[in-house]
Structure 1
């Protein structure tokens, strides 16, 4: 009798490799006229190690999702054919197929690495007591030695890949699928990841499929090379080196990075000069921007937990010169992106100075010479002033998209700067053609693939002729042909007189740079020996916090006048401020009240809207308007205090174990709430994009309000994209087939929980008293 997932044993033997059969597989995504894969046949023997290669858009990642049984998880389309693993559908035995996505951070489902690894074990209903040894063994196997309580956000790129690998291996899969696992890593870290993969696969006897654009590094670790062409058909299959001997030149011509074949030359590209461009204003070889003694710190806080300060850059110097390119290299997490952002005024340095060549700097007065000593640093410039000089290609290209169509996106900055539309249009069309995006000029940029979005971000960055081009890993995910195009655009910007700064692990980009600067991670300051005190609200369980916040729901029915509303609001504020008190010994936590005010800021818009509507519809009666506004405010204030301490992970534990709510909606909801913790960083990135594209609203409440609506829309679009990747990662670890589920975390109820719930009831009592005593 076959064992079901609910009977998984902590000491179950490790699975060996499985055979994989793909027969007649056809997949046409919704909205596409042609299939990505068309009647594909492929057989993998148990324990076989396969390297899957092909040009961009050939369907490699699609095939991995099909083998994992997840094609319809996050995408819609027409699917036919069959895929079996040891004769069963891939998801028939949860965890039998482990999939590690290209972006490992997209699949993080928990706020600690131990809990993240345990997610798959929860889905197969493993008893809580049996999880810690399995989690510890998986972390040890991939070489992650930090505490299981460590937050995933603190991991470097290589460590994030190891975490994703541990999350797959803890399920004891028979098939392991890796989607470009080393694309974002430096050479040393990539070699470490390959070594871990090789060791685990050999020891467990797993069937392995690895997708990579660059074949070198993997050839000695696999025994078979399968190559797809641009239409998704298998054009080569066999022993890796034999395949390269027979098909090497044709594979290179298709865009595959074949070892031994010289890197392509950057595409020769001559652009029409941009009207009123900043590029070329500084003489060739002279300094465009210089950072001196720069220090950059990043501060983060887990909900309800102590703040954490990470030192990204310390005492760094960097010069960017006109007509020259600089490659910033170094291990993942060394601070390359932070240093580059400080140089371009995208991030305000904690310490140090950034100077920009005087011809590029907006003077504070009309007399440029007199303003020489009073010039503001670039992080204080207005949006249009910064956009005229600086361009930015972020590592997460999706956040760089601001246009309705691909061509609109490229033209956004030139038009914002007042450049001639006809000249700017010709330049935009030339860039799109060079980057292979001309046929997509009218498409929605959010529907492009990751590689296409990165190329679009490059076109949009240089369209207006900036004097300083900052590109963060611009060639990631590109094949030989698109790599040549991206490199050609960078070279064209440099030839126009721009200073080009790139962060990269790409040896071809490094070879083309005029100067290479190695960045090393600064030594982190020792942790403060004095612990940070915890506010009262941080000591309350999530279910009690949620219950206290929901106690206010009857208030609109209880409050009639503005006096009653004001009295209840006063009670709420007193209780909330008491909750922010942090008694005991240690450092006082920072930002408690500021966080509440920040969360109330969006609510102010709703309150004003309600007040205005009530004033108009209520005969322009000020008492009616103020009463309506105070009722809404009384509903929102408790949530503003509570949500900063509401840990989604712990909330899920309580909802499932104490209220016995169904596991699937609880996990889905808490995973979505978990993503909200990253919204502040995504908001900052979106606003930075608008600033460097010249469309940030620098002044005026109406303009800023309108911009907030636009950015919120972009935030929601980005959240949907993240949700798709998260759903894929969750289902890859057995969530889709979880019939019963266990929970790695406990759900205790303590005295502070009872007191918090009592505070919520007290608000209702205050409302009843106000209704009886106040007219």
Structure 2
């Protein structure tokens, strides 16, 4: 098999010829960018279908295509956050079980066992997936695969983002899965040592995507030790390499006062569909932090303890308690800086390096910040090429950075952060996904940055990086507060999604058929009374907060549309005020029910009801529900794009108002590109859990039609009755 992705001149995999027998446990290794993740996707049958490119050869599982039988092959993606398919933990793990037709009553036990196997047994099944940390999300993806009990298990660096304890829990779960029955296991990892007792076979890919070694793991390690070390493989027992000696002048840093922070906390608010919000302490820095020029400060702690959150707060992206606790020097607060000044003060390498990509060419990505700060000369271009060469990326200078492997993207983010010489570098897991050579290159650049007078703050689980630190800050997950008393549920939240959707649509004929502004005003009044009734929350306990604010915010675009429509009608209809008022109020009638009802519409439940009650085809219904579930993430993606552009110096500048329009245009295009790529990754994740070939699908949740649904639809008819009666 040979595979050349669209947009790449050379194949990523070349003439790969492998036979894996049932029950084999295989460790797949190779230098960063050698095609390991691509080979796993080939084993799921996703190359040439979900992913575009030129495929020569074929892959079969037990004589058939990899997707011929749903649930046969399970894949955990390298960036598992892209594979979250549901809003809650329980439903996400159960997604594969639905695709293989497991009866509903059997799902909860399987889901709980799978979560416990990866160390997430303490989570409630209705925990929002959006509230999980990166490490927790990685374990959630593994739980979703384990729940399927697949014949072939493919794991792409499943412990890369985990602390040693959590990583050991995951390996134990994988080992138990591999020993129980004849399942075939293929694991991609850079660090071999912890896996050698769990696997029997070692397959090695070269930098150009060829199989160069294949055999019993201990025999290959013994016979090819020096060759593997020369390729950059993390051979067990070999000491870590020395950091690469970087040529003088390649890294520069503006020597500036330290980045300092007294002890502070960061709170996270999670908003639920029922209108309630839960605020908890997401991260806590217990000791003062001072990142001084020439030093390396590390944040260490268990997965989910808030290290990434603390780094984002140090960059000024998140509010802290007390406010404005983080400073660069004596007076500068990162949160108060505009884009160019923030880029001059610090740089940021996030946990998922793909989130800071702002261009469509690797070389442009490295140069982006320098260009934004006015440094686009020949010397800067030369240093950019040399940085890429040091990190093994020079041959990819013309490639699209979004098409690089995870390890390559992380090195690119390091290069892009260092070229303009920031005084402070904030790096989240800068060495994850690196082979020995690229690890040494990354550490060499960090050392060179420190030698030039820069400060580095890194969140990491890498013991070799921690051992080189000048200061180590240990973090622990803040204690979880007791659950608040349950709030009363509004009447509208007790209705099913089909009733909500149908009642919202009833506003359209009511608005169209309303004859005159006086009658339309009566229709609006009827809708307001019914809306107040729908939002009422009878019962004991505290009431749900922010009901009116939620409706008001959702109604604002509709009111703006009503006002502009009325004005344009008045202007074009001979300044007839009656007609203008009628048209404007009709728009209000159409949008008001949606503003009241749509906020309570759960996409997952909507999918359940469309398929189970209306009998619509499973595949488009589930795909639509999954897509709608991602709509609520658009705000977070927009914020992430804004952070990436701001810290790269290309966001909004207070001194240049024209940057507002440029920023909005670029952010909108970035949101579109990110959405399309997220949709592709979501399709990969869904199909890897049997969605593409599901023949008989079951459902995690029932889809009942209750008396309250009937009552809601009947009440929703009242405004239409008023409008028709008036005619």
TM-score, normalization: structure 1?
0.85
Return the alpha-carbon distance in structure 2 between the equivalents of residues 404 and 629 of structure 1: 44
Structure 1 alignment gaps of length 5 or more: 1-24, 283-287, 363-376
Equivalence for 1:13: none
What is residue 216 of structure 2 aligned with on the other side? 239
CA distance in 2: counterparts of 1:433 and 1:626, whole angstroms: 67
**C-alpha deviations, 1:181-202, integer Å up to 9, x for none?**
1111112211121111112211
- Report what 1:342 is aligned to: 313
Q: CA deviation at 1:161?
A: 4.1
**RMSD of the alignment, in Å?**
3.2
Whole-Å separation in 1 of the counterparts to 2:722 and 2:379: 67
For 1:221, what is the secondary structure of its paired residue?
A: coil
Find 1:281's aligned residue among 256, 277, 299: 256
Sort the Cα spacing of 1:709 and 1:71 in 2 relative to 1 into closer, same or farther, 3 A.
same
Of residues 631-640 and 688-697 in structure 1, the stretch that sits farther from structure 2 once superposed is 631-640
TM-superposed CA distance for 1:695, in Å, is: 3.1
Q: What's the CA shift string for 1:311-368, capped at 9, x where partnerless?
A: 1223523221122111111111111112222222121103365242447x45xxxxxx
Write out per-residue CA displacement over residues 153-189 of structure 1, whole angstroms, 9 at most, x where no aligned residue: 4445554444333322333322211111111111221
Whole-angstrom CA distance in 2 between matches of 1:204 and 1:473: 36
Whole-Å separation in 2 of the counterparts to 1:602 and 1:452: 42
Indicate the residue corresponding to 2:668 in structure 1.
Answer: 712
* Higher alpha-carbon deviation: 459-468 or 494-503: 459-468
1:532 matches 2:487 = yes
Whole-angstrom distance in 2 between the partners of 1:455 and 1:676: 30
In the other structure, the counterpart of 1:212 is: 189
Aligned to 2:147: 170
Q: Give the Cα separation in 2 of the matches to 1:603 and 1:322.
A: 53
Q: CA deviation at 1:136?
A: 4.0
Closer/same/farther in 2, CA of residues 382 and 26 from structure 1, 3 Å limit = closer
Q: Across the two proteins, how many residue pairs are aligned to each other?
A: 724
The residue number in structure 1 matching 2:161 is 184
Structure 1 residues 583 and 289, CA gap change in structure 2 (3 angstroms)? farther
SS of residue matched to 1:210 = strand
Q: Are positions 1:682 and 2:630 aligned together?
A: no
Counterpart-to-counterpart distance in 2, 1:166 and 1:231: 33
How far 1:764 sits from its partner (Å)?
3.1
The equivalent residue for 1:226 is 203
Question: Is the contact made by 2:256 and 2:329 (CA closer than 8 Å) also made in structure 1?
Answer: no
Q: Match of 1:290?
A: 260
* CA drift at 1:48: 1.4
CA distance in 1, matches of 2:493, 2:213: 58
2:116 and 2:529 map into 1 onto residues whose CA distance is 48
Secondary structure of the 2:27 match is: strand
Deviations 1:260-318 (A, max 9, x none): 333233333357599xx972133xxxxx1222130111011232363232312235232
1:50–1:226 contact (8 Å) kept in structure 2: yes
CA distance in 1 between counterparts of 2:435 and 2:429 reads: 14
Query: More deviation in 582-591 or 608-617?
Result: 608-617
For residues 273 and 159 of structure 1, do their structure 2 counterparts lie closer, same or farther at Cα, with a shift above 3 Å needed?
A: closer
Q: Distance in 2 between matches of 1:627 and 1:155?
A: 49
Distance 1:344 1:140 in 2: 35
Distance 1:627 1:497, change over 3 A: farther
How far apart are 1:424 and its partner, in Å? 4.3
More displaced 10-residue stretch of structure 1: 196-205 or 149-158: 149-158
- Residue 40 of structure 1 pairs with residue 16 of structure 2: yes
What does 1:249-264 align with in structure 2 at a 5 Å threshold? 249-264=226-241
1:164-563 equivalent positions in 2, closer than 5 A: 164-270=141-247, 279-282=254-257, 288-304=258-274, 306-314=276-284, 316-317=286-287, 318-351=289-322, 354-358=325-329, 361=331, 377-419=333-375, 421=377, 424-528=380-484, 530-554=485-509, 557-558=512-513
Secondary structure, aligned partner of 2:508: coil
Paired residue for 1:372? none
3-state DSSP of counterpart to 1:687: helix
The answer to which of 550-559 and 307-316 deviates more is 550-559
Q: For the residues of structure 1 that align with 2:302 and 2:569, how far apart are their CA atoms?
A: 58
What TM-score does the superposition give when structure 2 sets the normalisation length? 0.90
Instruction: String of CA shifts for 1:473-526, please: whole Å, max 9, x gaps.
Output: 122222223223322332233223222111111223223322222111121222
Query: Gaps spanning 5+ residues in structure 2: where?
Result: none
Counterpart of 1:69 in 2: which secondary structure? coil
Compared CA separation, residues 278 and 506, structure 1 to 2 (3 A): closer
**What SS does structure 1 have at the residue aligned with 2:504?**
helix
SS of residue matched to 1:517:
strand
Distance 2:673 2:249 in 1: 34
**Map of 1:78-157 to 2, 5 A cutoff?**
78-146=54-122, 147-157=124-134
Question: Is contact 2:340–2:653 with CA below 8 Å preserved after alignment?
Answer: no
Quote the offset at 1:650 in angstroms. 0.8
